[in-house]
Chain A
Amino acid sequence: MTAVKTTKAEPLFTTADWNFEVLQRTYDAIEEVAVKDLELNVYANQVEIISSEQMLDAYSSIGMPLMYQHWSFGKHFVNDEVSYRKGLRGLAYEIVINSDPCISYNMEENTMAQQTLVMAHAAFGHNHFFKNNHLFRQWTDAEGILDYLNFAKGYIAKCEERHGVHEVERILDAAHALMNNGVFRYRRPQKLSLKAEQEKEKERRDYEERTVNYLWQTVYSGPEGQKSEAQKEAEERKHTLRLPEENILYFLEQYSPILQIWQREILRIVRNIAQYFYPQRQTKVMNEGCACFVHYHIVNTLQQRGLLSDGAMLEILHNHSNVLFQPSFDDPRYSGFNPYALGYAMMEDIKRICLDPTEEDRAWLPEIAGKKDWKGAIKDAWANYRDESFIQQYLSPKVIRDFRMFAISDYAKDSHVTVSSIHNERGYGEVREKLAQNYDVAVIDPDIQIVDVDLLGDRQLKLRHYKRNGVSLDQKERDKVLALLRTLWGYGVLLEEVDAPPPRH
């Protein structure tokens, strides 16, 4: 740290215990740094203090404060609880929700130093990222999400009352299996609005009620062949126009021949939630990197201003380095790259390149090297990239060397893997490329599309999986998912796996 003019002030707190007054005071000091110094642009904050039991509750419902009920959440809860009670792992210090106002949950067990860290990390780091990153801006509705979840919870509870828990569970099981395939990757989903949502739902129900006429149910509707050939073809074309469709849940919601209206609504709910989480999956490294960078900057500034005691600072640094711990690949604790570590290292690296570039940096990252405005550069990165493109753009040779990265090429049928490149002059480019790919959802998620369906014939639904690099689907799970898919479609389902056309670079 370079010495800045030190205007020594009283520390914000001196004991580990916290109370709301100290929290507020500390928050204000953090906000001062975040907004005035870092010039972050954040949603209004709402910080909620919860107990560890409540944290466990929140864990199990994928971190959301409101969630409908399903056995799989119970399973996760049981799992989390067991490993927590055993001491296998601690609980997160906080959970933050991409909503407006931005809600973060802080654990009551945190010491005041941890609360400081957590507020800087979540209430400003994550918050800024949520509000500014293009993926979140385009794909999620921060102000609508809590209302929507509330609606979803109420709706599903009502369905359970009306149609039985078991029936609802059946639909949810199947929908959850297809959740990853319930996302629009290319077009922007409609805005969520509670009112519109409720109106839509009511409209559907009203229509259903209005059109019920028991007389008609006794009338034989005749074979479908009564329709004229032209009509038939038109219908077929109309449906075919929408194909191929990658959003399987959307397709089922729209066209499944057997689903009731409420079942379609449930598919829609699951789909909307999947869509909401889609950006988070693509920005793990950046999101955590941004939050870590922000909290590190803020606590250091606070310390320089004399607002943090040395003791508190040491505790914060201890937590900070715990979070950023990155075991090596041969360490038993290794489980891939730690997104906190990688993200934070890259953020700090961008700052370094801006302020103090080497010749190498000038060659690799001419756009930002030596550009004094590091805040602008880093915020530009936060706003306009996702993990894959961020790594592709900003992973510098220095970070590759620091992490001692190496790329492995693995053919499943071989008994050996090959080290294709390491952290040297020749390897930087490839390592960067490969690492970026590992964060690309288009590579991670199998590419499955609905390609054909003969709605007027045998109604068989045809899906196609485009295998990338010959990687097929896990057969056991594939069959299970297909069985569930069949229950939603009601007729035969066929999935073929073909090799993807080579990527065009």
Chain B
Amino acid sequence: MANFIDRRLNPKDKSLGNRRRFLRRVRKHIKKAVDASVRERGISDVDQGERISVPAEGITEPVFRRARDAGHRDYVFNGNKEYRSGDRIAKPEQGGGGSGKEGSDSGEGEDDFVFALSREEFLDIFFEDLELPDLIKHSLKEVQTFKPRRAGYSVSGSPTNINVGRTMRNSLGRRLALRRPNQKEVRELQEQIFKLEAVSTPTSKQKKDLIRLHKELEETLRRQKVIAYIDPLDVRYNYFQQQPQPNANAVMFCLMDTSASMGEREKDLAKRFFVLLHLFLKRRYNKIDVVFIRHTHNAQEVDEEAFFYSRETGGTVVSTALKEMLEVIDARYPPSEWNIYAAQASDGENFAGDTDTCVELLNAEVMKRCQYFAYIEILDEAELKLFQGEENGMELWRGYRRVKEDWANFAMKRIASPSDIYPVFRQLFAKKMSGAA
């Protein structure tokens, strides 16, 4: 008689822990492979998962085994076709070794070890040593928002927190223990007395009973009075602990110049930059709002579609976008509740004289509210070569450099091709910058 058991619904992925340990073990190699693949593939496909090849060297499991290149050994094979005893056979070139048995028990060869990473694992490693700048400010210990969390019961507290169930249970226990007479007993006594009193000519026994019952009733009522129905001892309150609540909301402002000077190429680059930033924030925050603000000579908040694909004519006044952003922040995203990130993309042109307004706005208002402000200037390859040094550049660039000197959480970079974006991104969020902040 066999015992059949259906295990199909049992948890699978039993070896998840083993997998995690294995990945940790080959972390270094995986990281290299991930970095390489990020550089190669389009940024918009970054969160796809990846096939990783790890050199077998790092993950061998050595055991004492016999060398292949020494001594004498005998093998037995099957499938002889033409050999007679005494035949001499030239050994095959290195590799085959003529030793099927040995070959099979040596396990995997020196080949690379190939396996696939899931999207999650891939991204984890992709972001591994990136850290949000100024995250320290909102790190758990300094966080200012608290959320009460149930943490058992207490004997003191405010009346609103009384736990009725607990209190009544304690009360019942105490009443039972002290034999507090209940309402039913009192009523029965009263009924008996009432009955006896109704008798017009009581016998002497009935009289005696009546006296006794009166006494009993008196005593019962006394006990009821002395032993409280609910004693302060019984009362229990729900106890709440103040749990620090990580500030888990972020809003990301995308600012972009959409005047005619921004062509398809520039917008495409900007988009990839925004996507990457968004992807990164998505990992750190539960909830992310994205606000798109485009500007020419005036700015407005638009949806994503319009932001990237509609064209406008007009001049370029960057400060309008910053003003619009401030308005949106004040209206909807108080900095005490939201982590505010801003990413601005532009080709670097600005209306003459407006740059000073921008710098002033940034210094006085915007930077105080932002966790981080990243500015990228999208240039041609040729221009990028032209502006080799940091200090050279157009008016906006030079103006922003002044901001950068004052604010550690302000970053700026020039990019010219998709392959520049990732390094820029890395640099923008590299650990050391947040350390400096």
Contacts and interface: CB of A to CB of B under 8 A. Distances in A.
A421 B85 contact: yes
Contact of A472 (B6, B60, B66): B66
Contact of A180 (B2, B6, B63, B67): B63
Contact of B113 (A79, A336, A467, A470): A79
B98 interface: yes
Interface string B156-200: 000000000000000000000000000000000000000000000
Interface string B43-86: 00000000000000001111111111111111111111101111
Interface residues of B, number: 66
Interface string A404-447: 11111111101111111111101100010011011000001010
Contact of B77 (A27, A178, A406): A406
Contacts of B103: 335
Interface stretch (B17-25, B33-41, B358-366, B376-384): B17-25
A336 B102 CA distance: 9
16 contacts: A48-B5, A50-B10, A61-B15, A74-B18, A82-B114, A82-B116, A178-B63, A181-B64, A404-B79, A405-B76, A416-B90, A418-B86, A419-B86, A469-B72, A473-B65, A477-B65
Contact of A71 (B25, B83, B87): B25
A71 B21 contact: yes
A48 B10 CA distance: 11
A74 B3 CA distance: 31
Q: Which 8 A-B pairs have the closest CB atoms?
A: A328-B79, A74-B22, A470-B71, A471-B71, A74-B18, A329-B77, A480-B62, A71-B21
B99 interface: yes
B197 to A, nearest CB: 73
Given A53-B13, A438-B76, A471-B70, A74 B19 contact: yes
B63 A405 contact: no
A393 B100 CA distance: 24
Nearest to A411: B72
A481 B64 contact: yes
Interface in A459-478: 465, 467-475, 477-478
B226 interface: no
Contacts of A424: 85
Contacts of B73: 410, 412, 469, 471
Contact of A406 (B2, B8, B80): B80
Main secondary structure of the interface of A (DSSP, over half): mixed
B79 A71 contact: no
B313 interface: no
Given A334-B100, A410-B99, A477-B64, A418 B13 contact: no
Given A82-B115, A419-B89, A473-B66, A406 B71 contact: no
A176 B21 CA distance: 16
Contacts of B3: 44-47, 101
A330 interface: yes
A477 B85 contact: no
B104 interface: yes
Q: Which of A72, A336, A473 has the most C-beta atoms of chain B within 10 angstroms of its own C-beta?
A: A336
B18 A20 contact: no
B67 A471 contact: yes
Contacts of B105: 444
Contacts of A411: 71-72
B100 A329 contact: yes
A87 to B, nearest CB: 15
Contacts of B91: 410, 414-417
B51 to A, nearest CB: 9
B7 interface: yes
B8 A108 contact: yes
B332 interface: no
Interface in A322-375: 326-331, 334-337
